[in-house]
Amino acid sequence: MKINENTLLEGQKVVLVPYNEEHVPRYHEWMKSPELQQLTASEPLSLEQEYDMQRSWRDDNDKCTFIILDKQRWADPSVEEEQCMLGDVNIFLTDPTDLSVAELEIMIAEPSYRGRGVGKEVTSMMMSYGVAKLGIKKFQAKIGLDNQVSVAMFKKLRFNEVSVCDVFREVTLELTVDESVRATLQDDVVYMKERDYRQTCSSRHELFSQ
């Protein structure tokens, strides 16, 4: 999706930036991990396939992707952006007849960043963006039955379990965005700022001085 190609979302612990070509090598390294393949139900891709995937995530109208960066590291302009990457977050519009339904996926690829509130912050930021900019009215998450951490996180974020598929060993959770959810989401990420990505890149260090 092109809508976020120059969008930076600033949170407390993270900044979300569009998934660009320069992020692909690190992303490709992550996805060699059998643990991540299993947790995210992904197949390993060649580097070329990963570049193709990045282009499709950028260009296809049904996908919106951000790369998650460690905000503190990124604020140091001497650190390359690739070195600040810690995961990614996606919205997929799964129903071509109803563009207000979205599947949400998140991956904190770097294990040292898990369990520190990053997943919750990023998911809330992405939902808030999805509601405000894409008009999403229902979020879904499909999670492996063994991935109890992810299930617990989505339940913490007010998702409800709606079905279990024993064949795919997958649970589906949903959150319908009514007025109360919309208001709570806004409160959860009241600090979130949307910035111009390219402009902010050239003055990263100023993030902490504002």
Ligand X SMILES: CC(C)(COP(=O)(O)OP(=O)(O)OC[C@H]1O[C@@H](n2cnc3c(N)ncnc32)[C@H](O)[C@@H]1OP(=O)(O)O)[C@@H](O)C(=O)NCCC(=O)NCCS
Residue number with CB closer to ligand X (188 or 204): 188
- Where does this chain touch ligand X (CB under 6 A) — which range of 12-20, 58-66, 106-114, 181-189? 106-114
Say how far apart CA 99 and CA 204 lie, in whole Å: 34
Report 138-167 residues binding ligand X (CB under 6 A). Answer: 143, 147, 149-150, 152-153, 156
Residue whose C-alpha is closest to residue 133's, from 203, 188, 64? 64
Out of 24, 67, 106, 131, point to the residue binding ligand X (CB under 6 A).
106
- Where does this chain touch ligand X (CB under 6 A) — which range of 6-14, 50-58, 109-117, 168-176? 109-117
Residue number with CB closer to ligand X (40 or 65): 40
**CA dist 122 → 4, 9, 118, 170, 203 (Å):** 15, 10, 6, 22, 23
Say how far apart CA 21 and CA 42 lie, in whole Å: 20
Build a one-symbol-per-residue string for 23-62: x at contacts with ligand X by CB under 6 A, - elsewhere. Answer: ----------------xx----------------------
Pairing of strands 101-108, 138-144: parallel
Q: Residue 8: beta bridge partners? A: 195
Q: Which residues bind ligand X (CB under 6 A)?
A: 39-40, 105-108, 114-120, 143, 147, 149-150, 152-153, 156
